[in-house]
């Protein structure tokens, strides 16, 4: 067993400790035994291997300069205003199953979620310079963050909690809708997160209210979120479902819980009763504080999905850097859907082969990344395979959403 307290991530740990209600130890080195030395080396090996293999599949090299650089592909153009646009004519009505809005929680001043800003500052702010940052589509997407970008990300993460993030101020509803328009996305699921803070922790209500006020409810589908240690979690789920939520986001790394912890069972059961899918952040991203990686190993999801077969679970990022474990996991559990966000081109191809496109859901993880980054990968991999393209971009999500008992958005939001 290796206990690491990652110093570089001290600031993020501080933020996460605040997120956890100021009640959890900072980067404490616990001895749960739920992550092993072998797990740690597998992640390091995955990072090495994907770097070596990038560009070596039958799809060739796909490295671009910034998101704007994607205009080199036949699917995109830069319009007269300098915006990247998808120009493919026969796109299906795309559903993006993984987006977020600007985060302002704890002490951070609120964001005007209805503001239109000059440009979006994605957390991977690849178009900040001209030419843009190197963008490799054949590695796990966050491998494109360099050290400087990661420091900025840490700073902005804290800003979202304490002083307000300049980046988050651009993560607004009109900006999301404009990027959806540029990329042919019809509808997006907007996933909030309950951070477990002592106060200033109501992203789900803030975001649902913004969607409601802007009359964007046809295109932006709100999600719900509860913190597993919230004593009112069950009532909260019912309340958020009544406000129109279409899925429940749970993030084991940020919320610091093991998905198979029995304390989660009532939450999964309630999601089953409400007819709402559970959207998990799944697998290790490789850029989160090392302490938090123990929560998202794929084997920790096994009992949750195995014991709640009437609930649909989405594994966001298709297991991220643990995709090699996530594929057999999804094969074992027919109630698991895979969000494809983050996976590189060759992995996406493997996911189609191993699981079938009808289990895969398009997701951009906006505003971390431009929607076009994931769209480009899907278009490249599904060239000449219209059925797979249709399923990933629209069909799978349409089927999953059709089973959701959606309540109409309420105009008045009862506040707790
Ligand atoms: Zn996300």
Task: Report the DSSP beta bridge partners of residue 315.
Answer: 280, 338
**How far is the centre of ligand 1, averaged over its atoms, from the C-alpha of 34 (Å)?**
24
CA distances from 387 to 89, 245, 383 (A): 16, 29, 10
Q: What is the mean pLDDT of the chain?
A: 92
| Distance, CA of 397 to chain centre | 15
Reported CATH class of domain 7-402: alpha beta
Looking at residue 31, its pLDDT comes to 64
Q: How far, in Å, CA of 340 to CA of 392, rounded?
A: 9
Output Rg (C-alpha) for the chain, integer angstroms: 20
300: its two tokens: 């920790």
Looking at residue 24, its pLDDT comes to 43
pTM of the predicted protein model? 0.92
**How far is the centre of ligand 1, averaged over its atoms, from the C-alpha of 113 (Å)?**
18
**How far is the centre of ligand 1, averaged over its atoms, from the C-alpha of 90 (Å)?**
28
pLDDT, tens digit, for every residue of 123-138? 999 999 999 999 999 9
141: its two tokens: 């997407």
**How far is the centre of ligand 1, averaged over its atoms, from the C-alpha of 229 (Å)?**
21
**How far is the centre of ligand 1, averaged over its atoms, from the C-alpha of 98 (Å)?**
6
pLDDT, tens digit, for every residue of 60-118? 999 999 999 999 999 999 999 999 999 999 999 999 999 999 999 999 999 999 999 99
**How far is the centre of ligand 1, averaged over its atoms, from the C-alpha of 80 (Å)?**
31
Say if residue 20's pLDDT is above 60.
no
**How far is the centre of ligand 1, averaged over its atoms, from the C-alpha of 238 (Å)?**
23
**How far is the centre of ligand 1, averaged over its atoms, from the C-alpha of 279 (Å)?**
10
Q: What is the DSSP string of 28-91?
A: -------S-HHHHHHHHHHHHHHHHHTT-STT---EEETTGGGGGSTTEEE-TTS-EEE--TT-
């Amino acid at each position: 067993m290796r206990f690491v307290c990652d110093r570089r991530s001290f600031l993020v740990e501080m933020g996460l400790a605040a997120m956890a209600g100021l009640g959890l130890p900072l980067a404490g080195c616990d001895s749960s035994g739920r992550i092993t030395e072998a797990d740690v080396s597998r992640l390091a090996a995955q990072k090495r291997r994907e770097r070596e293999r990038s560009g070596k599949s039958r799809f060739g090299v796909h490295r671009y300069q910034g998101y704007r650089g994607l205009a080199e592909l036949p699917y995109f153009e830069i319009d007269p205003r300098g915006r990247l646009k998808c120009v493919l004519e026969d796109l299906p009505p795309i559903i993006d199953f993984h987006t977020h809005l600007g985060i302002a929680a704890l002490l951070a001043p609120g964001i005007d979620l209805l503001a239109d800003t000059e440009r979006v500052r994605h957390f991977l702010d690849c178009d900040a310079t001209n030419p843009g940052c190197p963008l490799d589509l054949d590695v796990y997407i966050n491998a494109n963050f360099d050290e400087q970008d990661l420091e900025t990300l840490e700073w902005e993460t804290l800003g979202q909690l304490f002083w307000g993030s300049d980046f988050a101020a651009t993560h607004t509803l009109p900006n999301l809708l404009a990027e959806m328009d540029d990329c042919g996305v019809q509808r997006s699921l907007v996933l909030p997160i309950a951070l477990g803070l002592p106060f200033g922790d109501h992203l789900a209500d803030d975001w649902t209210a913004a969607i409601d006020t802007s009359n964007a409810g046809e295109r932006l589908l709100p999600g719900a979120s509860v913190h597993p240690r919230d004593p009112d979690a069950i009532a909260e789920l019912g309340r958020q479902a009544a406000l129109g939520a279409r899925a429940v986001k749970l993030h084991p790394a940020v919320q610091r819980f093991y998905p198979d912890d029995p304390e989660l069972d009532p939450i999964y059961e309630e999601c089953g009763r409400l007819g709402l899918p559970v959207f998990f952040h799944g697998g290790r991203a490789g850029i989160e504080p090392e302490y938090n990686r123990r929560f998202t190993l794929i084997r920790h999801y096994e009992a949750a999905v195995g014991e709640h077969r009437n609930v649909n679970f989405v594994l966001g990022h298709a297991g991220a850097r643990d995709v090699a474990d996530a594929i057999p996991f999804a094969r074992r559990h027919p109630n698991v859907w895979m969000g494809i966000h983050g996976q590189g081109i060759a992995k996406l191809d493997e996911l189609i082969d191993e699981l079938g496109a009808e289990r895969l859901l398009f997701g951009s993880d906006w505003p971390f990344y431009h929607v076009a980054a994931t769209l480009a990968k899907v278009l490249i991999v599904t060239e000449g395979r219209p059925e797979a393209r249709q399923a990933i971009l629209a069909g799978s999500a349409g089927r999953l959403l059709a089973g959701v008992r959606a309540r109409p958005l309420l105009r008045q939001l009862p506040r707790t």
